[in-house]
Amino acid sequence: MPQKTNLKMEVVMKPIDELVPYNRNARQHSLVQIVCLKESISQFGFTNPVLIHFSGRIIAGHGRVEAAKQLGLKEVPCIVMHNLTDTQAKAYTIADNQLPTMATWDYNILAAEIDELKEEGVDMLKLGFTQEELDELIGSPDEDLEVPEEKEKPESDTTICPKCHHEFVL
C-alpha cells in the first residue's frame, strides 16, 4: 500500500541571501548550464520553485539559485519542506537529481515539437540543446518531419523501476 504523503505546501518568496547551499551537494552545475538557466528564467520566468529545508538549506535548486544570483534577483520562489528530517532532505537532494536521468525522449515527438518551435521563431539554443543536437534532431530544412499522433495512456498499467525494482501502478 502506498505511503501517504503530506501534499499541503506553500510557495513563498525568500531572499537569496537567506538560502544556504548544501555544501555536500553532489550534483555539479556547469557554466554552460547556468547560462542556459539564466536564459530560461529570463524568457519564461522562475517557474520551478527552490525546495528548501525548514532550516533554510537548499534541497533542490542550487543551479537555479546561482542563475538567479547572476541575474541580480534578490529573492526567489521557494517551497519550505517542514515535513522532512535532515536525513530525508539529504536523500531527496540525491533523488531529485538522479530520478530525471531515468527519463528518455520520444525523438519523433521531440523533433516535431522543435521543428514547430523553430518555424514560430523560438531561439532554438534557449532550449538547452547544443547546435549539433538540434541539427541531428531536425535534420536539413528540406526534410519533412512526420508529426506523430497523440497517444492515449492506458487506464491502468504497471511498470517496474529498472534501478530499485519497485513496481508502480501508472
Domain spans in the chain, listed from the N-terminal domain onward: 11-102, 107-169
Confidence tier at 157 by pLDDT (50, 70, 90): low
> How is 50-69 classified by DSSP, letter by letter?
EEEETTSBEEE-HHHHHHHH
pLDDT score of 20 more than 50:
yes
More confident residue, 140 or 119: 119
**pLDDT score, position 3:** 55
**pLDDT score, position 164:** 53
Q: Which three cell numbers stand for residue 107?
A: 525523438
pLDDT score of 146 more than 60:
no
**Candidate CATH numbers 3.90.550.10, 3.40.640.10, 3.40.50.1970, 3.90.1530.10; the one for domain 11-102:** 3.90.1530.10
Cβ neighbours around 49 below 10 Å, total: 20
Question: pLDDT tens digits for 44-61?
Answer: 999 999 999 999 999 999
**pLDDT score, position 119:** 93
- The whole-model pTM stands at 0.73
Strands 75-81 and 50-53: parallel
pLDDT score of 1 more than 50:
no
**pLDDT score, position 133:** 86
Nearest Cα to 81, choosing from 170, 10, 3? 10
Mean of pLDDT values over 69-78: 97
**pLDDT score, position 87:** 94
More confident residue, 58 or 139: 58
**pLDDT score, position 80:** 94
**pLDDT score, position 158:** 57
**pLDDT score, position 144:** 47
Q: How far is CA 139 from the centre of its chain?
A: 26
